[in-house]
Structure 1
Amino acid sequence: MRQITATQAAALLRDGDTLLIGGSGGGHAVPDALLAAVGERFRTTGMPCGITAVHPVGLGDGRTRGAGHLAQKGLLKRVASGTFVNSPGIARLALDEEIEAYTMPQGAMSQLMREMAAGRPGLLTKIGLHTFVDPRLGGARQSARAKEDLIEVVQFRGEEFLFYKPYHVNVAFLRGSAADEDGNLSMEHEAVTLEMLSMAQATRRMGGIVVAQVRRIVPGGSLHPKMVKVPGILVDAVVVDADQWQTYETQDSPAYSGHLRVALEDIPRLPPGPRRIVARRGALELFEGAICNLGSGISTGIANVAAEEGVLHRICLTNEQGNIGGAPASGNEAGAAISPDAQVDQPYQFDFYDGGGLDLAFLSFAEFDAQGNVNVSRFGGRIVGPGGFINISQGAGSVVFGGTLTAGGVPKAVERVEQVTYSGPYARSRGQRVLYVTERAVFQLGEAGPELVEIAPGADIEADVIAAMGFRPRVSPGLRRMDAGLFADGPMGLATRLAERPPRPALNRLAMAQAAE
C-alpha cells in the first residue's frame, strides 16, 4: 500500500476516464478531499477533461462540496447517479445541456456494483419498469445530450425486466475511517458502509486504480479482521485527511456510528402545521412490528410522531443506506440513523427491499396525477433524480405518499406528472395498496386512479379539495372525515391504536404458536 497526497490522487485521472465514487448524501463516507483535489486540478491545469462520474448516491452539501467539486464545464462528459439533489452544480450542467446526465434507481446502481465485481454482464431486475427509467419512457436520461442506452428492456422466461449495463472503471475514490499499513480499510466511525467493497472489487477486476481516503493510518495487524470492510489486496493507495468529518455537518457522532445509544424519545416534537398533520395521518398506518422506510422530506416526520407517541420501539424504521432500527436522520444528515440496531452494506439492504421486506414505505411526493403516478425526480425546472425512491416504492407491501395538496397555491395533484417516478397503473396490476396523504384529504389508489376516501373535519369537498387539484378524482361512496385527533395539539393515542391492530403476520403466528403450548 502506498500513501499519497490528494493532489497525487487527482493526477491519476486521465482525459475520458470513468471515476467511480463511494459515499452518500451530505458527506457520509464521501471522499471529499479527493474530489476537491480533482476540481482544483482542473481549475489550474484544465485536466482531466471529459470524465464520466458514477456514484449510486447523490453526493454533496447542497452547495459546492461532494460532486459539486466536479461541476465545471469541460471536466465532466457524463454523470450517472441516483440523484443530483445534493449537488445543484451538477443539476445546472444537466439543465444547460453541458453534460450527459442520467439518474437511476439508487438500489439498482448499488447492486450493479456487485454484478460488475463478479464479472457478470449487468443487472437484471424489475426495478424501474414503467417509470422514466424504462427506455420506453426516457431511459433515465435527464439531458438531451444523453444519447447512449444504459438500460434495456429484455424478456426473460416470459417476463419483462430491465437490464442495467455495467461501466468500465479506471479509478475509484473510496473512504474509510482508518487504514493499516497493509491498506486494510475499516469504517467503524462512518455512519454508513454502502458498497465500498463491491466498488473496490469491481475496479480491481477491470485493472483500475483504487484510492481510499481515511482519517488515520494504524499499524499493520492492529485492525480486527471483522472490522475490515475493504481488504488491503484491493487498495492501491491511501490518502490521509486528518480533518475528515463524519458528515458535512457533524464532525463525529457516536450515535451515528453505533458507539453510543441515545434515548430516541428525545427526538423533537413536530410543530403544529401541515407537516405534522400529514406525518400523524401516515403514522396511523403503523402496526406492531411494522418494518418501514422513511423517505426524505415530509415523511421523515413519522419518526418524530412515533417518538412523541412512545411507540418508536414497537416498530422498525430503516433507511436504504443500510441502517436498521433507531431513528433515521433527516435534512442534510439523511442517510445516517440515530442509534441503529444494525448497519448492513447498501446492496443487501436493497436486496431486502426489492424482495418485499418492507411492510410500509412512507415517501413524499412532488406531484401525483389522475393515473396515480407520482413524480419526485424532475419538476418545476429542477432535476432531482429518484435516489432510492423507485426501489422502495416498488418493493414495499404498502406505500403512503405524503405531501401538501398545494405548494404556494399551485396544485400538486395534476392531470399528468412531468416525469413518472412511480407508476400507478403498474402498482394496480400488482395489487399494491397505495395512499396519498395530504393535510386536508386522503386518497387511495383505485381502479380509476386516486379516489378521495377521507376529508379534513370542516373542509368542503369542492371548495377545499377538488378546487385545489388539477383533475377531478372519484369520490368514494364511503367517504369519511379524517380523525379529529390528527389536528389536536396533544398525543393521539397511537400506542393504544397499535395494540388494537393486527401485528406483522410473523409476530401473530409466533403468538399463536406460544398460546398453543
Structure 2
Amino acid sequence: MNLLSSARIMKHIFQYRLHWNERDTHYQYKIPGSPKFMGPRDAVKLIKDKETVIVCGIGGNQRISILSWALREVFEETHHPQNLTLITAAGLGGRGKVPGTLEEWAVEGLVSEVICSHFETYRAIMEMAEEGKLAVHCIPLGIMAALVKAAVKGEQSVTSTTGVGTFCDPRVDCGSEVFIPKRYSPDINNRFSKGLITVDGDKLRYQMPKIDVAMINAPAADAEGNIYIENCSTICESKEAALATKKNGGKVIVNIGKLIEKKPDQIFLTADQVDAIVYYPETEQTCSRRHDDPMLCLTDHFEGDVESGLETVRLMNKLGGITPKRSKSQMCIAEECADLMQQYVAPKSYVNIGIGLPELICDTLQKKGLLSNYTLFTEGGVIGGVPAPGMFFGAAVKPDKITSSPEVFELANERLEATVLGFLQIDSEGNVNASKRGEGALNYVGPGGFIDLSCAAKTVFFVGAWMAKGEVHTSHGVTEIKKRGIPKFVDKVEQITFSGQQALKAGQNVFYITDVGTFKLTNEGMTLIKIREGIDLQKDILDYSPMKIIVPH
C-alpha cells in the first residue's frame, strides 16, 4: 500500500472517531404517496411492549445505529416499548466503547430477555445481566439461523445432534439458560419457563419465540419500497427474518443508506414484505463505511486483488486498536496448523476459520501460496475470498458469493471438511471450553458458531497457547518457557463447548496445536504427537499440566 492510500485511510479513521457519536434521530425522509418511508423515531414507535424483536448482522456489519439510538431516546422519554425480547443471532455490540451498537438497548426496562450466540461484544448488556436486570439465553449461531429459516414456514423449533454433550445439553449443563436472575419471573413474557433447549431422543430440540418485529440494515431502496443488497458486506439471516416476521403478521423495519432507481431483477425484499423504511445517509455498510461509500473489497464484485483489500482491512483494524501483536510462538502455531491442513484437508475443500488466533492461519496459508487450495467461508454467509479479521469479522475480502447465514450453515453441515478454532481450556477427555472465561456474566463469551462448526467438520484444529498469562518465546526454531502461567490444559473444563466423546463417536480428526506441542484426540485420550524443540517433556508438559496426557512409546 502506498503512502497516499495509507494517509487516506488514517484520515478516514480519524474523522470517523471524531464524529462516531453524532446522530439526528429526528431526521425525516418521506416520499409522497409512500407511507412506508418514515423517520427513525416513528419507525421504533411501531414496536409494542413485550414484543420479540430480531436484529440481523454480525460484528461491525449491518448495524442499525440510527434505529438503536432512536429506540433508546423514545424509551427514555415515554417508557415504551417495555420488556422486549431481543434476538440477535451473532454479536452486534461495541464492547462498551463503540456507540450506535445494540448496546444502546442496555437500558433497564427496555429489554427483559436476550437470545444470542455470542456475548463478548455486549459488555453493557452483560453488565445488566450481572446486576439481575435481564435474562440471557444462549443458542449456537447455526441453530439460530436454522430456527429463523424454520419460522418462515411457521415452525418454532428444530431438532439437531448439534450441541449434544455440550453445555447446551440440559443433561450436561445449563441448556439455553446462561443467566436467569433470581428475582426474574418468566411470566414477564411468559415464554421461557423451561428454557429454549430440551432433550428429544438422541437429539436436542431448540425453540425460539415468534418474531414480532424484524430490524434490518440494507444498502438501498427504490421509491416504491423495494429493498436491494448491492454492495453489502453481509446479509446474514435478513431475508429469512423478514419473511418469518410477515408470516407471524409482524412488522419489518429496514434501515437503508441509499435511494436508487427500481431494478426489478435485483430486488431482495419486495415492498409488500416491508412495513417501514428509514432512509438515513449515515447508515453503514460495515464499521465506519457508509452505504454510499462502501468498502468494495468486502463485496462480491471487487475488481482489485486480495492483497490490496487485506492491506486496507489490516490497517483499519490497526488504527482502530483491534489488531493484537503476534509473537513468534504464535506464528509457529499457525505454521504447524497449515502443515497439518496440507496433510488432512484435501484441496478445494470447504474450510472455516474462526476469530482471534485462527485468523493468523489465513495469513500463513497466503504466505505459503496455499490459500487458493481451499474455499473459506464465514458465519455471516460469505463464501470464498479471505475472511476479514477484527471489526469486519463475518465479512470477507474479495468473496465469491454473499449468501444467507442459514444457507452457509446448511453448506457446513453437508460439506465442511475442516475448521480452525481457538479455545480457553482443554481437558483430559478432549473437551474444549471456548465459551466461559470465569464466573459472572461479564466473563461469559458464548460459542457463536463454534459448536455448529466443530460438530460439522470432519477435521477440527484447535489453536492456542499452552498456558494463560505465561511467556513462551521462540527463537531460531527453539522454544523456551520464560514465565509459567495458568494451565489451560486441565483435568476438567469449566464448560463444555466441544465434546471430545461425541467427536470420537462421530469419527472426527481432532488436533490441539499449542506453542509447546501438538496433541491428537484418540480413543486412549489426549495423545502428544509432537513436541517443540527446546521444550522439556517432563518439566514443561507432564509435570505442569493437570491434564492426563498419553505419550506414545
TM-score range, shorter chain: 0.7 to 0.9
Structure 1 residue 66: deviation in Å? 2.1
* Equivalent residue number for residue 473 of structure 2: none
Question: Residues 424 and 449 of structure 1 are in contact (CA less than 8 Å); yes or no, is this contact kept in structure 2?
Answer: no
Question: In 2, Cα distance between the equivalents of 1:363 and 1:84?
Answer: 17
Equivalent position of 1:107 in the other structure: 142
Q: Which amino acid counterpart does residue 346 of structure 1 have in structure 2? A: S
Give the direction of change, closer, same or farther, for the CA distance of 1:62–1:234 in structure 2 (3 Å limit): same
Establish whether residue 359 from structure 1 lines up as the match of residue 417 from structure 2. yes
1:60 equivalent among 93, 96, 100: 93
Is 1:282 aligned with 2:358?
A: no
Q: Which moved more, 1:127-136 or 1:297-306?
A: 127-136
Contact 1:126 1:161 in 2 (8 A): yes
Aligned 8 A contact 1:402 1:436 in 2? yes
Match of 1:40 in 2: 73
Q: Which residue of 2 aligns with 1:4?
A: 38
Superposed CA offset, 1:218-238 (max 9, x none):
34xx2242x222222210110
Q: In 2, Cα distance between the equivalents of 1:54 and 1:139?
A: 17
**What is aligned with 1:13?**
47
| 1:244 counterpart letter in structure 2 | T
Q: Which moved more, 1:79-88 or 1:292-301?
A: 79-88
1:84-483 matches, within 5 Å, as 84-136=119-171, 137-145=173-181, 147-155=193-201, 160-219=202-261, 222-225=262-265, 227-251=266-290, 252-265=294-307, 267=310, 272-287=327-342, 288-355=347-414, 357-381=415-439, 382-408=443-469, 409-477=485-553
User: Residues of 2 paired with 1:431 and 1:459: CA distance?
Assistant: 31
Provide, for residues 436-494 of structure 1, a one-character-per-residue CA deviation record: whole Å limited to 9, x for no partner: 100111111122432111110121012222344232311122xxxxxxxxxxxxxxxxx
Q: Given that residues 370 and 416 in structure 1 are in contact (C-alpha distance below 8 angstroms), is that contact kept between their aligned partners in structure 2?
A: yes
- What amino acid does structure 2 have at the position aligned with 1:452? L
For 1:278, the aligned partner's letter is I
Distance 2:282 2:509 in 1: 47
Q: How many residues are treated as equivalent by the alignment? A: 468
| Range with greater deviation from structure 2 (398-407 or 257-266) | 257-266
Superposed displacement of residue 150, structure 1: 0.9
CA distance in 2, matches of 1:207, 1:224: 25
* Structure 1, unpaired ranges of 5+: 478-517
One-letter amino acid of the structure 1 residue matched with residue 66 of structure 2:
A
Contact 1:214–1:238 at 8 Å: present in 2 too? yes
Given residue 440 of structure 1, which amino acid in structure 2 is its aligned partner? Answer: V
Q: How far 1:3 sits from its partner (Å)? A: 0.6
Q: Do the aligned residues in 2 keep the contact of 1:170 with 1:207 (CA within 8 Å)?
A: yes
8 Å CA contact 2:149, 2:241 repeated in 1: yes
Query: Letter of the aligned partner of 2:214 in structure 1?
Result: A
The aligned amino acid for 2:340 is E
Q: More deviation in 297-306 or 251-260?
A: 251-260
| Range 380-389 or range 141-150, more displaced | 141-150
Q: Distance in 1 between matches of 2:193 and 2:155?
A: 24
- Give secondary structure in 1 for the equivalent of 2:358: helix
Letter in 1 for 2:255: Q
- Per-residue deviation, residues 278-332 of structure 1 (Å, max 9, x unmatched): 1111111223223210001100111100111122122222112111111101112
Query: Distance in 2 between the 1:258 and 1:121 partners?
Result: 33
- Report the CA distance between 1:147 and its aligned residue: 4.7
Normalising by structure 2, we get a TM-score of: 0.81
Distance 2:467 2:71 in 1: 42
2:7 maps to none
Report what 1:76 is aligned to: 111
Question: What is the rounded CA distance, in whole Å, between the counterparts of 1:321 and 1:375 in structure 2?
Answer: 23
Question: Residues 370 and 415 of structure 1 are in contact (CA less than 8 Å); yes or no, is this contact kept in structure 2?
Answer: yes
Name which of structure 1's ranges 163-172 and 234-243 shifts more when overlaid on structure 2.
163-172
Whole-Å Cα distance in 1 between the matches of residues 369 and 285 of structure 2? 29
Give distance in 2, aligned partners of 1:431 and 1:108.
22
Hey, what's the Cα distance between the residues in 1 that align with 2:516 and 2:304?
35
After TM superposition, give the deviation of residue 255 of structure 1 in Å.
0.8
The change in CA–CA distance for 1:304 and 1:52 in structure 2 (over 3 A counts) is same
Letter in 1 for 2:458: G
Question: Amino acid of the residue matched to residue 462 of structure 2?
Answer: F
Give the CA RMSD over aligned residues. Answer: 1.8
CA distance 1:249–1:476, shift in 2 (3 Å): farther
Partner deviation per Cα, 1:242-272 (whole Å, 9 max, x = no partner)? 0112222444210101232333346579854
Partner SS for 2:177? coil
Please give the alpha-carbon distance, in whole angstroms, between the structure 1 residues aligned to 2:84 and 2:546: 42
Q: Deviations over 1:42-92 (max 9, x none)?
A: 233322221100111111232354220111222111000111122211222
The one-character-per-residue Cα deviations of 1:7-44 (angstroms, maximum 9, x if unpaired) are 11121222211111111122x11222112211222233
> 1:390, 1:214 → 2: CA distance?
33
Q: 1: CA distance between counterparts of 2:104 and 2:276?
A: 21
Distance 1:240 1:61 in 2: 23
Change (3 A) 1:423 1:323: same
Q: Shift in Å at residue 121 of structure 1?
A: 4.3
Larger displacement relative to structure 2 (462-471 or 86-95): 462-471
**1:120/1:364 CA distance change after superposition, 3 Å:** same
| 2:252 aligned counterpart, secondary structure | strand
Q: For residues 403 and 249 of structure 1, do their structure 2 counterparts lie closer, same or farther at Cα, with a shift above 3 Å needed?
A: farther
SS in 1 for 2:419: strand
Q: Which whole-Å CA distance do the structure 2 matches of 1:359 and 1:206 have between them?
A: 37
Residue identity matched to 2:517:
A
Q: Normalising to structure 1: TM-score of the pair? A: 0.87
Matches of 2:502 and 2:326, distance apart in 1: 36
Distance across 2 between alignment mates of 1:228 and 1:377: 38
Say if 1:265 and 1:311 are closer, same or farther in 2 by CA, change over 3 A: farther
